[in-house]
């Protein structure tokens, strides 16, 4: 049976020290994923044995974009990466987990209840259908696929002056021009990018930040 051991040192390397209470919560979250995966596809079967990688990857977001005390939207949250990790590591932030799949939403609500994550809200719905209903100062999308489709659906949920951060891999260089064009059509622009090596793992994540322009007065 697959077991879960929190990669605490690697997470602290990229996102700062964890309290013992936070470590307990994060461990309980990992164990909840393993338990739920006996019945539903919370994460892919291939990922179960590498669950710690998702935790380190999610923590790396916090070294690139600090949520502060603002609102964070995890769009297409799935099993809760990076949103649940961010909510535990940055309890001052208000984190909304958005997913369209009922099984994932049921799981996320159970995690929120069991871990008593008062700073977490779970929303069941398609990103496209939430346009005009909610906006975030910082939104993130980790595994939603094609950059054109992701930007088209996600930028509408970012408040003017806010940011959307995408997790990208080594193929980002092939997408950057298309992403710049699509973002520009929606009143956004690429702000910065940074590739962060994930401690203890033989890979890195490229974080790409899109700024949504402020609406001009008048």
The answer on pLDDT for 36 being more than 50 is yes
Mean pLDDT of 201-206: 92
Mean pLDDT of 66-86: 93
**Residue 1: per-residue pLDDT:** 53
Tokens of 208: 């790409």
pLDDT category at 172 given cuts 50, 70, 90 is: confident
Mean pLDDT of 23-44: 92
Tokens of 207: 């974080």
**Residue 74: per-residue pLDDT:** 97
The answer on pLDDT for 15 being more than 80 is yes
Mean pLDDT of 103-108: 96
Mean pLDDT of 13-34: 97
Provide the greatest CA pair distance for the chain.
62
Mean pLDDT of 126-145: 89
Mean pLDDT of 98-104: 95
Q: What percent of the chain is predicted at pLDDT more than 70?
A: 97
Mean pLDDT of 46-74: 91
Give the sheet arrangement for strand 136-141, strand by strand: 120-124, 94-99, 71-75, 136-141, 158-168, 204-212, 188-197
pLDDT category at 218 given cuts 50, 70, 90 is: very low
Please give the mean pLDDT across all residues of the chain.
92
**Which domains occur in the chain, in start order?**
8-212 (3.40.50.150)
Tokens of 68: 């502060």
**Residue 216: per-residue pLDDT:** 55
Mean pLDDT of 117-131: 95
- Partnered with residue 138 across adjacent β-strands are 72, 163
Residue 138 gets the label, from left (phi > 0), alpha (psi -120 to 50) or beta, of beta
> Of 32-46, 109-123, 156-170, which range is least confident?
32-46
């Amino acid at each position: 049976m697959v077991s879960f051991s929190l990669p605490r040192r690697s997470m602290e390397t990229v996102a700062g020290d964890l309290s013992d209470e936070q470590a307990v919560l994060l461990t309980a979250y990992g164990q909840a994923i393993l338990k739920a995966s006996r019945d539903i596809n919370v994460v892919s079967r291939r990922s179960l044995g590498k669950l710690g990688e998702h935790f380190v990857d999610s923590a790396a977001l916090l070294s690139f974009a600090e949520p502060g005390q603002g609102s964070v939207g995890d769009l297409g949250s799935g099993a809760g990466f990076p949103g649940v990790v961010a909510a535990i590591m940055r309890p001052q932030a208000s984190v909304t987990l958005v997913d369209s799949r009922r099984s994932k939403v049921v799981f996320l609500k159970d995690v929120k209840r069991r871990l008593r994550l008062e700073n977490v809200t779970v929303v069941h719905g398609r990103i496209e259908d939430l346009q005009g209903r909610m906006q975030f100062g910082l939104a993130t999308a980790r595994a939603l696929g094609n950059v054109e489709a992701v930007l088209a659906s996600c930028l509408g949920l970012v408040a003017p002056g806010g940011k959307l951060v995408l997790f990208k891999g080594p193929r980002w260089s092939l997408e950057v021009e298309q992403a710049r064009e699509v973002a520009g059509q929606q009143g956004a622009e690429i702000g910065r990018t940074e590739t962060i090596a994930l401690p203890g793992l033989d890979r890195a994540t490229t974080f790409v930040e899109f700024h949504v322009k402020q609406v001009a007065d008048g």
